[in-house]
Chains A and B, each alone.
Chain A
Amino acid sequence: MTESKMAGQKEGGISLQARRALAYVVLILVTLICLFWFYVLFINATRSNSELKRGFSALPSTFILENLNNMIHGTQPVLYGMLNSFIIALSSAALSTYFSAMTAYAIHAYDFRFRRFMFTFILMIMMIPTQITALGFLQLIGNMGLDDSFIPLIVPSVATPAVFFYMKQYMDSTLPLSLVEAARIDGAGEFRTFNQIVMPLMKPALAVQAIFSFVFSWNNYFVPALVLHTDTKKTLPILIAQLRSADWLKFDMGQVYAMIAFSIFPVIVVYLVLSKSIVGGVTLGGVKG
């Protein structure tokens, strides 16, 4: 950063001071627009149904535990939903990071005939979303007898081109091939080199991508809603959708807010703890050049 040119330039238009003030005002405004909804959500999750019916209040009340308790013992299998979401998201995150690193390593460390082709090919399919082939996907898992099972929601994470791309870039910048050579000279097998030498070096990249994969899977609604049918197998987003399609006016609104909070706040907490590496990871995965 060039620190030297602070000198109050009185440029043609607005002074530096005024521009800075404007920037802060806009940033604070944007911050409020981003956070307002979560503030209202928090307040409302702590209020009872009758308090909510009376109108909006800016101060929290004391009914949060009661609302959570009612929600857990309500008609929706929320705890199952949380557990199912957690199992699927955690397995997907583990598979997508491990196997994407493995795929990236194959292309990074070995010089085989279709190397260039594979790299180009994976880049080409990177942007293609799962929704547009969902039809064939559903038919396939129907034929495989995997309908209403977690497997079709977990196993496809093995081939995640975006995570692969991130890992490949990370290897390009941090994994010297001389290290792999050294491991070979020491007599380590190729699998062992990958698992015990390459993977530990990839930890920062693995962590960032594990979080992204977890969150993506945690929030995923379209495909799980078409695959899972049994109530106790459903994930949180599906339960939220059921809440919406139920006659919601008859609901205890305290419970409704508690359930939304229950789906949103865990991710916010994790994000705030790890925000530094997450925000940094966005750019690394996206564009280069």
Chain B
Amino acid sequence: MKKSRVVSYNKWGYIFLIPFIVVFLVFQLIPLVSTIYNSFFENYRSGLMQIGPNFVGFENYVTIITNGDLPTYFANTMILWAMCFVPQIIISLVLGAWFTDPSLRLRFQTFFKTVIYLPNLIMASAFSMLFFTLFADGGPINSILMQMGIISVPFQFMSHVWSVRALIAFMNCIMWFGNTTILLMAGMLGIDPALFEAAQVDGATATQIFYKVTLPLLKPILIYVMVTSLIGGLQLFDVPQILTNGSGDPVRSSMTLIMYLNKHLYNKNYGLGGALSVFMIIVTGILSYIVFKFTNSGE
């Protein structure tokens, strides 16, 4: 009697899973399969003419690699990610160490944490539009710099490769360092306080404790933060898309992979778009697997 009741309850596990599974299959798995399928076909519009779909094997892959698009835009994306991630992780580590240091006993912690997390919730496209207007040739930043006498003619932020890249990286850094700080803090608070005390008793300075105790013990979380940030970095789209109006100018130096994908999707070039997607699926898949290994090892 008891056994049959247990069994009859457990079928509810399947019933409660139905919505998730159905929606996942329809809106995620089918698109995944058809994206991969599309990558093997020639399928685009040339003027009013529809070309394909014709099976072409790996030709789409060869095209996006040999015409230089994929390597260039991949490099752009990685440069922008690194320019954003390196300062971000340094600031987050320092702030995290300060917030969690019991001997410092910083006040107004809640206020500071609230402020640094705030930009993460801002609409990236609006934030980017804001920077575009602020850094325009006749915008407030140029106006301030000229009033202060630092420059005499407006600096054209949007016409220089490295100023555009720096603006994109800077915006992303502002938007994400608060999130990273909070994640790292959780890791730092998880370290056994006895280790810090022991180091202190042995006469270690705050700097030594940071490098010799905190950092090595944080390694797993640092890896997690880096890989998730890399996955996010590969998706970089809103900020450069709005800032450069989808052009990735100057000379496509800030064109990211997803901006390139967006172009193909918009023009309905499903062959090349598919090949590009598959490349991203593979890279993200590998990175996701690393995150998964990490998240699951705590079980």
Give chain A's interface residues, CB within 8 Å of chain B.
Answer: 1-3, 5-6, 9, 11-14, 16, 19-20, 23-24, 26-27, 30-31, 33-35, 37, 40-41, 44, 53, 55-56, 99-100, 102-103, 105-107, 109-112, 115, 118, 120, 122-140, 152, 155-156, 158-159, 164, 184, 190, 194, 215, 218-219, 221-222, 226, 236-237, 240-241, 243-245, 248, 253, 256-257, 260, 263-264, 267-268, 271-272, 275-276, 278-279, 282-283, 286-289
Interchain nearest-CB distance for B89 vs A (Å)? 14
- Residues 135-164 of B, flagged 1 when their CB comes within 8 A of A and 0 if not, give 000101001101100000000000000000
- Tell me whether B238 and A222 are in contact (CB under 8 A): yes
Top 7 A-B pairs ranked by shortest CB distance?
A289-B298, A110-B13, A136-B31, A106-B16, A136-B34, A136-B35, A112-B13
Interchain nearest-CB distance for A147 vs B (Å)? 12
Is B9's beta carbon under 8 Å from chain A? yes
CA of A237 to CA of B126, assembled, Å: 7
Is B32's beta carbon under 8 Å from chain A? yes
- Tell me whether B16 and A102 are in contact (CB under 8 A): yes
Is B221's beta carbon under 8 Å from chain A? yes
Partner of A5, one of B103, B235, B238: B103
Residues of A within 8 Å of B95, CB to CB, are 26-27, 30
Partner of B31, one of A14, A133, A253: A133
Residues of A within 8 Å of B140, CB to CB, are 40, 44, 55-56
- Tell me whether B123 and A289 are in contact (CB under 8 A): no
Give the secondary structure class of A's interface.
helix
- Tell me whether B94 and A132 are in contact (CB under 8 A): no
Partner of A34, one of B27, B116, B130, B245: B116
- Residues 153-186 of B, flagged 1 when their CB comes within 8 A of A and 0 if not, give 0000000000000000000001000110011011
Which one, B44-52, B63-71, B76-84, B285-293, is touching chain A?
B285-293
CA of A100 to CA of B14, assembled, Å: 14
Known: A27-B95, A33-B174, A35-B115. A99 touches B31 (CB 8 A): no
CA of A6 to CA of B296, assembled, Å: 39
Is B4's beta carbon under 8 Å from chain A? no
Q: Which of B209-248 contact A (CB under 8 A)?
A: 220-221, 224, 228, 231, 235, 237-238, 241-242, 245-246
- Tell me whether B35 and A135 are in contact (CB under 8 A): yes
Interface size class of B (residues with CB under 8 A): 35 or more
Is B30's beta carbon under 8 Å from chain A? yes
Residues of A within 8 Å of B75, CB to CB, are none
Known: A282-B183, A287-B295. A158 touches B23 (CB 8 A): yes
Q: Which of B114-135 contact A (CB under 8 A)?
A: 114-119, 121-127, 129-134
Give the secondary structure class of B's interface.
helix
Interchain nearest-CB distance for B110 vs A (Å)? 7
In the complex, what residue of chain B is closest to A132 when comparing beta carbons? B280
- Tell me whether B102 and A5 are in contact (CB under 8 A): yes
- Tell me whether B228 and A127 are in contact (CB under 8 A): yes
CA of A126 to CA of B292, assembled, Å: 8
CA of A107 to CA of B98, assembled, Å: 39
- Tell me whether B296 and A120 are in contact (CB under 8 A): yes
Residues of B within 8 Å of A253, CB to CB, are 133
Interchain nearest-CB distance for B168 vs A (Å)? 14
- Tell me whether B121 and A129 are in contact (CB under 8 A): no
In the complex, what residue of chain B is closest to A194 when comparing beta carbons? B16
CA of A11 to CA of B206, assembled, Å: 8
Residues of B within 8 Å of A128, CB to CB, are 28, 284-285, 288
Known: A129-B231, A135-B270, A244-B245. A287 touches B187 (CB 8 A): yes
* Contacts A20-B104, A34-B118, A127-B292 known; 12 new A-B pairs at CB < 8 A: A5-B103, A34-B115, A55-B146, A99-B23, A110-B13, A128-B288, A135-B261, A136-B34, A215-B121, A221-B241, A282-B183, A289-B190
CA of A53 to CA of B183, assembled, Å: 43
- Tell me whether A55 and B147 are in contact (CB under 8 A): yes
CA of A263 to CA of B124, assembled, Å: 10
- Tell me whether A132 and B277 are in contact (CB under 8 A): yes
Q: Which of B187-204 contact A (CB under 8 A)?
A: 187, 190, 193, 197, 200, 203
Interface centre among B110, B114, B298 (most CB of A within 10 A): B114
Residues of A within 8 Å of B20, CB to CB, are 99-100, 102-103, 122, 158-159, 164
Partner of A241, one of B105, B122, B125, B298: B125
Q: Which of B1-54 contact A (CB under 8 A)?
A: 9-17, 19-21, 23-24, 26-28, 30-35, 37-38
Residues of B within 8 Å of A106, CB to CB, are 12-17
Partner of A115, one of B13, B114, B115, B258: B13
A-B contact pairs, 26 of them (CB 8 A): A2-B102, A12-B205, A31-B116, A44-B140, A102-B19, A103-B20, A106-B15, A127-B288, A132-B277, A134-B261, A135-B35, A135-B261, A137-B27, A139-B31, A139-B34, A140-B26, A155-B27, A159-B24, A219-B121, A221-B238, A222-B237, A240-B129, A241-B241, A256-B129, A279-B110, A288-B298
